[in-house]
Amino acid sequence: MEVPAFIEDGLMLIAHAIKEKRGDTGLLTSNYGEPEFECPVFSMRTYCWCDGDRPGHEDGCPPNFQHKSGLVIEWYKYLGRGTQMNRSLTVKEWCAIMRECLEAV
């Protein structure tokens, strides 16, 4: 399912919050191999180029964004390119998820 712009915008905000917390220069919405962010609420990671060569990725690389609710969002190389999600969300649902994620960072 295609990802609406309001969700992509929210993912960018989450990525910037992670960047600010870490004090580094990279964003997890890019393909530069920044270390993944994982907490009990969600995980976020850059596009993986390993094609199954990394340990634990034999059955496929983990998604770029995964929320504890089961929401999964993936993109090709960088956010906005081939971005797909596993279910639709209303603006209200996404705002609740985004708020949870920002508070968890």
pLDDT tens string for the chain (105 positions)? 899 999 999 999 999 999 999 997 789 998 887 899 999 999 999 998 888 888 888 888 899 999 999 999 999 999 999 999 999 999 999 999 999 999 999
The helix/strand/coil state of 65 is: strand
75 touches 81 (CB < 8 A): yes
In the sheet that 37-38 helps form, which strands lie side by side, from edge to edge?
37-38, 42-44, 65-67, 72-74, 84-85
Using alpha carbons, select from 16, 11, 50, 45 the residue that is nearest to residue 28: 45
- pLDDT at position 41, please? 98
